[in-house]
Chains A and B, each alone.
Chain A
Amino acid sequence: MREKFLKLVKESGASGELFIIKSKHRSVNFENDKFKGVDEGETSGFAVRVKKGNRIGFSYATGDSNLEEVVNSALEVLQFSKPYDFEFSGNQEVPKVRCYDDAIINESREKAIDLGHELIDYIHSFNNDMKVSFSQTTNFIEESLTTTNGFNSVFKKTIKTISLGGFYTEEGNFLEIYAEQSRSLNSLFDIETLKEKFKTNILASRRNVSIKSGNYPVIFTPFAIDSLLLPLLVALNGKNVVAGFSLLKGKLTKKILSPNFTIIDNPLLSGGAYSFPFDDEGIPAMRKELISKGQLLNYFANLDVASKLGIRAGNAQRSLSTPPAPSSSNLIVQPGDTPLSDMLSTGRAILVESLMGVSMGNLSGGFVSGNVEMGFLVENGKIIGRVKDVMINLNVFEKLKDIAISKENIWISKFIAPYIYVPDVSLSAK
């Protein structure tokens, strides 16, 4: 297919890039405490980009037939293209990254079923009426990228994800707990952390407490960090900087957040579910410090954004049917120097474990607004009970200027994150 592609593109007087993706999926599913069955699937497809002058066309198809048709379709839409100032990747050395594990491929279904039963029994030991769902999915992905400029490389990847959900209902009081863990190496799973989360959430939710509207110190647990940092990731996306609406536009090298805040994108992380040796445009993977000690150092960029902002590319990601766009890989928020126990014992605070509705809010405006789906009132180091019917509203660019960061951190799936203490957050209650 590669040779045919190179020949077709060269004949048309263009340069080109061929992306081929094959994936196999397998999952074991439990719902409402019961083993329900197994799913399996395989898909394949390819996408092409062609470039003539400074214009680019894109097209794709499932399966592996119709190469000529897809190339022609890409050539056809090239006329609509905006101007691009980059060339497809040339021949480059790519780093070695551990993101494939035979142990994940070879793991038996029986083992996953046993784990499902074990986790369900564990949760039931704290709440026998909780309805538990569990799934273990494994994905095997093979990606290859070939360009007329000489890049030609393939990588294999495994991703295993364990998801665990608990749902407890009583009149006027629902409790839903959800957690998942993804890794690309089988030895890196940490089932104890999943268990611990369920145990503490169930025990802390035995009592509901109400709070009054007002400003509170809030401790975001590592499980809530993805919601807290969502507006930051929108602003760090180079595509939004180019589009002009990122609030971090024009702020490179400026101090924008608290001096103890550092966030790193690292596709080289051994065993990370989001690790890769080269990105979806053939740029060798590299660690990127986005914000270091509060200072803005970089944006997420693909080749297009990199050429416009004069920064390094390497963050391109794509699915079969979408052209490569800047996105995050594994994200690491550096731990700080405050012990968690100190954070918890500073009087009265709200511990936030999960938020609901944040992704629909005004993210480009920097807002984290939503419902505190799982949150607890903490007083002098003790969890008093669960707070419900509480809305949170904060602007990350204001509130993350003054924070404490814990020594402890947890590797969830995409994030390795500590606890973050924000001293003054507006909560609205009924």
Chain B
Amino acid sequence: MEEKIRELTRRNDVDYLEVRIEDGVESNIVIESKDVEVVKQGNFIGGNVRVLVDGVWGFVYFTDLDKLPEKIDYAIDQARSMKNFVHSKTGLAYVKPVEAKIRAKVKKDPFKVSLSDKVKLLKYYTELALSFDKRIVSATAYYKDKFKTLRFANSEGTYIEQEILDIGGYILPRASNGKITERTMVPFGSSETYEVVENLELEIRQKSELAVALLGAEQPVGGEYPVIIDQHLGGVFIHEAFGHLSEADFIFENERLKKIMKIGNKIGSDILNVVDTGDIQGKRGALLYDDEGVRTRSVNLIKNGILSGHLHTRETAFKMNEEPTGNARAVNFRFAPIPRMRTTFIQGGNGKFEDFIKDIKKGIYAKGSFGGQTNGELFTFVSEESYLIENGEITKLLRDVSLSGNVFETLKNIVGVADDFTIRDTGGGCGKGGQSPLPVSHGAPHVYISKVVVGGKK
């Protein structure tokens, strides 16, 4: 396969050509309470050709790899036939050709654990949640693993073979009293070890207890509050609120946004530092080479409150005259790579969580998250566990708390960054442009924001 791909990508009649082939195995288990809902294993294989001819992109994907030679010709014809319709030509930032073969670094291989042992463990978890309290009406365990080999070659002489392992999932207890339903989540994820799925008993008990307690909790009174977010929610917040805005496909052809997102602009409070990196081994966002064969590099998105970097593909880097960062990613062979995050986090600061609490007369402490969404300027996320803070103390548990705000105002309203940074992987993934779920990671320390809009009752 290697020789064939190398030979076929050696073309002089195009500006640029790349071939990406992926094949692999995956398994998936879903347990609904006491029943095994899904146990499956499958193989997948597919590839694509992306070509730039006279400044025009052509992209073709396929599952029949024998057709690779004809698909290359077809992609070139496609792009060539569109030549007269494209008025702005594009290009790619220079990257030195590389040759690399990367084997996955695996600690405990999920594919060496039998399906039967995985099913047994997950069933034990759901039964543990159900047995906690009668009001736990259901518990779902979701588990997925995937091992793939990506082969990438381009017309510039790059050839990369990269193995990628991805494990993700969650245990989700649901409590109900017939009128209210509440849920909590114990997530897990890794790019190197099955160990993250093991020894979750204590957390499942705690989250089952929380789900039941939420049935008796009140909804917050809606309005603006000082809010402390925990490490997990802080990670989701920075991913949603700023990470997506840093993706250069959003910026590179928009003169107005270029001004707002210009390097050197004061974007957040002085204590805010944000990084996106592929370097944190074992996390789901770990990545050595992106889907354009570019070696990933850590990017300081915000340094001491100053906007310091963007997340690029080779095309956006070329158009913005910046260095490629290795953020071109595609969820699978059906898609062309676009700028995406890897592991994104707020760096730890000097603050103390206890001091933040003491500082607040009336506010909200929000922990954990079921995810978030953004449209560039506005963001919203839902916390799993929230408390009212009154006169410097955590008092009542609150249910169904969603937080929202304006990205630019909120980054400036960060008044405290604690010293307790962590990253906890989850089983979900990031979605953009129909490409979902892409494995990413995010983390933060406790972060204190002076003003956030909280949805709730009147």
- A79: chain B residues within 8 A (beta carbon): 116
A62 near B45 (CB under 8 angstroms)?
A: yes
B457 near A426 (CB under 8 angstroms)?
A: yes
Q: Is B124 an interface residue (CB 8 A)?
A: no
Distance (whole angstroms) from the CB of A401 to the closest CB of chain B: 14
A365 near B180 (CB under 8 angstroms)?
A: yes
A77's contact among B41, B174, B399, by CB below 8 Å, is which? Answer: B41
A214's contact among B43, B64, B458, by CB below 8 Å, is which? Answer: B458
B458's contact among A41, A213, A245, by CB below 8 Å, is which? Answer: A213
Distance (whole angstroms) from the CB of B285 to the closest CB of chain A: 20
A426 near B222 (CB under 8 angstroms)?
A: yes
Question: B22-72: which residues lie under 8 A (CB-CB) from chain A?
Answer: 26, 28, 32-33, 35-46, 48, 56-64
Which one of A165-173, A255-263, A409-417 is at the B interface?
Answer: A165-173
Taken together as a complex, chains A and B put the C-alpha atoms of A81 and B34 apart, in Å, by 11
Question: B363-383: which residues lie under 8 A (CB-CB) from chain A?
Answer: 370-382
Taken together as a complex, chains A and B put the C-alpha atoms of A78 and B161 apart, in Å, by 35
B42 near A429 (CB under 8 angstroms)?
A: no
- B40: chain A residues within 8 A (beta carbon): 58-60, 77, 321, 323
B380 near A370 (CB under 8 angstroms)?
A: yes
B43 near A66 (CB under 8 angstroms)?
A: yes
B181's contact among A31, A33, A365, by CB below 8 Å, is which? Answer: A365
B455's contact among A40, A59, A369, by CB below 8 Å, is which? Answer: A369
Q: Is A430 an interface residue (CB 8 A)?
A: yes
Taken together as a complex, chains A and B put the C-alpha atoms of A31 and B377 apart, in Å, by 19
- B116: chain A residues within 8 A (beta carbon): 79-80
Q: Is B223 an interface residue (CB 8 A)?
A: yes
- A370: chain B residues within 8 A (beta carbon): 373, 380, 402, 404, 455
Taken together as a complex, chains A and B put the C-alpha atoms of A133 and B115 apart, in Å, by 45
- B454: chain A residues within 8 A (beta carbon): 391, 428
Interface flags for A209-224 (1: CB within 8 Å of B; 0: not) read 0000111000000000
- B249: chain A residues within 8 A (beta carbon): 31
Chain B contact residues, majority secondary structure: strand
Contact A430-B453, Cβ < 8 Å, known A37-B79, A42-B63, A323-B38: yes
A37 near B375 (CB under 8 angstroms)?
A: no
Contact A169-B256, Cβ < 8 Å, known A371-B378, A389-B453: yes
A37's contact among B59, B61, B183, by CB below 8 Å, is which? Answer: B59
B455 near A391 (CB under 8 angstroms)?
A: yes
Nearest residue in B to A168 (C-beta to C-beta)? B256
B57 near A37 (CB under 8 angstroms)?
A: yes
Nearest residue in B to A40 (C-beta to C-beta)? B60
Q: Is B137 an interface residue (CB 8 A)?
A: yes
A42 near B372 (CB under 8 angstroms)?
A: no
Taken together as a complex, chains A and B put the C-alpha atoms of A63 and B333 apart, in Å, by 14
- A176: chain B residues within 8 A (beta carbon): 375-376
Q: Which of A59, A66, A245 has the most chain B CB atoms closer than 10 A to its own CB? A: A245
Q: Is B193 an interface residue (CB 8 A)?
A: no
A391 near B334 (CB under 8 angstroms)?
A: no
- B458: chain A residues within 8 A (beta carbon): 213-215, 426
Question: B249-280: which residues lie under 8 A (CB-CB) from chain A?
Answer: 249, 253-254, 256-257, 259-260
Distance (whole angstroms) from the CB of B248 to the closest CB of chain A: 12
Which one of A188-196, A340-348, A355-363 is at the B interface?
Answer: A355-363
Taken together as a complex, chains A and B put the C-alpha atoms of A243 and B40 apart, in Å, by 20
B78's contact among A31, A38, A169, by CB below 8 Å, is which? Answer: A38
Taken together as a complex, chains A and B put the C-alpha atoms of A357 and B458 apart, in Å, by 20
- B129: chain A residues within 8 A (beta carbon): none
Q: Is A423 an interface residue (CB 8 A)?
A: no
Taken together as a complex, chains A and B put the C-alpha atoms of A293 and B255 apart, in Å, by 52
B453 near A169 (CB under 8 angstroms)?
A: no
Q: Is A43 an interface residue (CB 8 A)?
A: yes
Contact A362-B183, Cβ < 8 Å, known A80-B39, A428-B222: yes
Contact A41-B382, Cβ < 8 Å, known A247-B181, A364-B181: no
B453 near A35 (CB under 8 angstroms)?
A: no
Taken together as a complex, chains A and B put the C-alpha atoms of A206 and B330 apart, in Å, by 37
Interface flags for A11-30 (1: CB within 8 Å of B; 0: not) read 00000000000000100000
A360 near B382 (CB under 8 angstroms)?
A: yes
Interface flags for A59-94 (1: CB within 8 Å of B; 0: not) read 111110010001001001101111000000000000
A39's contact among B43, B59, B223, by CB below 8 Å, is which? Answer: B59
Question: B1-38: which residues lie under 8 A (CB-CB) from chain A?
Answer: 26, 28, 32-33, 35-38
Taken together as a complex, chains A and B put the C-alpha atoms of A167 and B63 apart, in Å, by 35
Contact A172-B408, Cβ < 8 Å, known A37-B56, A213-B458: yes
B405's contact among A59, A62, A113, A389, by CB below 8 Å, is which? Answer: A389
Distance (whole angstroms) from the CB of B106 to the closest CB of chain A: 23
Q: Is B337 an interface residue (CB 8 A)?
A: no
Q: List 12 A-B contacts (CB under 8 A).
A: A31-B249, A40-B59, A80-B116, A213-B223, A243-B140, A247-B176, A357-B381, A370-B402, A391-B455, A392-B455, A393-B457, A429-B223
Query: 20 additional contacts, CB 8 Å, given A38-B79, A62-B44, A244-B176?
Result: A34-B86, A40-B78, A41-B334, A42-B62, A58-B40, A63-B45, A77-B39, A80-B36, A80-B115, A82-B37, A113-B85, A172-B406, A243-B140, A244-B138, A361-B400, A370-B402, A391-B404, A392-B455, A393-B457, A428-B455
